[in-house]
Amino acid sequence: MQDLTKSLTYFAPGDPSSNQQEYNHVSWPSARLNISFTVFPCLVLATRKKMQNGKNKYQDAIQALDSLWGSLTQDRQLSTCNLQLDQTLDEAYFPSLSGSRAAKTINTDQVVAREFERNVGSRMDEEDMDDKVPLLMVPQLWIWRVGHCVTTAYSTATTEPNAQKPMYDGKFPVELPTNRPDLHIGLILAHHVEACGEQIKLTVLDTVSSPLQRFESALVSRMSDVEEYVDSPSSSGDKFTEKRLIHSIADIRGELAMISEIIQEQDRILKAFISDTTESSAEGEEVNLPDWNTLQYRLRPQKARHRLEQYLRRIKKIDNAAERLERSMQDKIELKRTYASIKDAHNSLLISMAVVGFTVITVIFAPLAFLTALFALDIEGFDQLKVTLPLKNGTVPDDDDENAVRVYSSKKMAGIFGKCLGCNL
C-alpha cells in the first residue's frame, strides 16, 4: 500500500501555471509493477448553474487552503494541492481564457445554450434558465494503474438519482477477470467515448439530445433564418440581423473545430492505450476464461476509436454544410443589397425627374408671375408699353377719350419676358 501511495503521489497531474493537465497516456512497464497514468478529455453537457457552482467551489477551496496553509502564493497552492477545475469547451481550447473577463460572455454564448434559449427560453422564467440551459464542458478523467490496482478521478458527477451517470459505475460483467486492469481501463475509456453520442439526461425530467445533434438542429435553424431574412418585405439590409446570422454560423463552425480537436486528442490517447495494452502484458490471466470474452472486451477501445472516426466524419459533414450555408448566405445577402441598390437608383431617377419638372416650372413661371404682379401696378413709366384697343366699329379712339381701353402690348411684354428669362438662366 505504501508503494501504491508513493506511485499515485509521484504521478499526480498538475501544472503550477495551469489548473488543467495536458491530455496524455504514459506507462512505465516493469517486471515488478506495470504503472500507467492517463488524462482523458471528456465531452459532456452540464447546466450553466452547475458550471458556475463548480467555479465557486473551486474558489472556496483555494481560499480555504490559503487560510489553512498561511501565506502561500496562488501558484504555490495550485502546485501543492493540484486542484483541477472543469472547463467549458472554449476554455479547454484556449486555456488562457479561464478566469478572464471575456470567459463569462463567451461561455454563455455557446451554440447549445443559444439554441436552447431560442427554442424553450421564452416559456421559462429567468430564474429557471440557469438550471436548464446546457453548456458543453470538457472535464478530465484521470486513471492511475499501479499493478492490479486501478484508481480513477472524475469531477463531473450528477446529483439527480435518475439522471444518466457520466462516469462508468464500475459494474463490470461477471465474466470479466478482476486481474485484468487493462480491460477495466479500456471499458472506462470506451464508455466515455460512447456516451458523447447518446442522449444526455441533465435532470430527472430534462433529457437533451447529443451535442452533435444540437449542432445539426442549430444549422437547420440558421438555414431557416437566412431564408426568412432574404424573403423579408424590407428591401434594405438590416446590419444587426446580418451580423447575428454571420456570428451564429461562425460560432457553429468554430465550436465544431474545437470539438474536433478534443476528439482527435481522445483518439490519440486511445491509440496510445491500445498499443500499450497487449496480450503479453496480462498478469495472472485465468486459463479457463473463454477467448471470446477476453476478445470482446479488448475490442471495446478499438470500437471506441471507430466511434470517434464516425464523430469526426459527422463533424466534417456539418461543417461542410455550414460552409455552404455561409457562402449561400453571402450570395443571397449580396443579391438583396443589389436589388435594394437598383430600387434606390430607380427611386432616385423618379425624384430627379420631379426635381427637373419643378425646376422648369420655377424658371418659367416665377419670372412671369413676377412681371405679372409688377405690371399690375399703376406705374407711370409703364404707360409707353400700353396700346389702345379699337372700338367695336373699328376706329381707334384717342388716348384722352374716356371710352379708350389701354392694355400692355403683347409684343413688348414678350420681349421684356424673354430678356428676364435669359437673365434668370
Q: What is the rounded radius of gyration, in angstroms, for the C-alpha atoms of the chain? A: 42
Residue of 417 and 109 predicted with greater confidence = 109
Round to whole Å and give the CA distance between 246 and 328.
Answer: 12
Lowest mean pLDDT among 48-52, 92-96, 265-269, 317-321: 48-52
**How many of the other CB atoms lie within 10 Å of CB of 403?**
7
419, amino acid identity: K
Looking at residue 284, its amino acid is G
At 409, the amino acid letter reads: S
Its sign, for the CA torsion 195, 198, 204, 206, is positive
Q: Mean pLDDT throughout 330-354?
A: 83
Domain limits, the chain:
2-344, 356-424
Cell numbers given for 284: 495472472
- Dihedral angle, C-alpha 148, 154, 158, 159, nearest 10 °: 80
pLDDT of amino acid 166: 44
Average pLDDT on 155-183 reads: 55
Task: Judge whether residue 214 has pLDDT over 60.
Answer: yes
CA 39/CA 399 separation, integer angstroms: 123
Report the alpha-carbon distance of residue 307 to residue 131 in Å, rounded: 31
State the CB neighbour count (10 A cutoff) for residue 176. Answer: 15
pLDDT in tens, 59-79: 777 777 667 665 545 554 444
Looking at per-residue pLDDT, the higher value among 245 and 101 belongs to 245
Number of other residues whose CB lies within 10 A of the CB of residue 344: 12
What pTM was estimated for this model as a whole? 0.70
169 class by beta-carbon count within 10 Å (0-12 exposed, 13-18 middle, 19+ buried): exposed
Residue 19 scores a pLDDT above 50: no
Question: Element (H or E) spanning 213, and its range?
Answer: helix 211-230
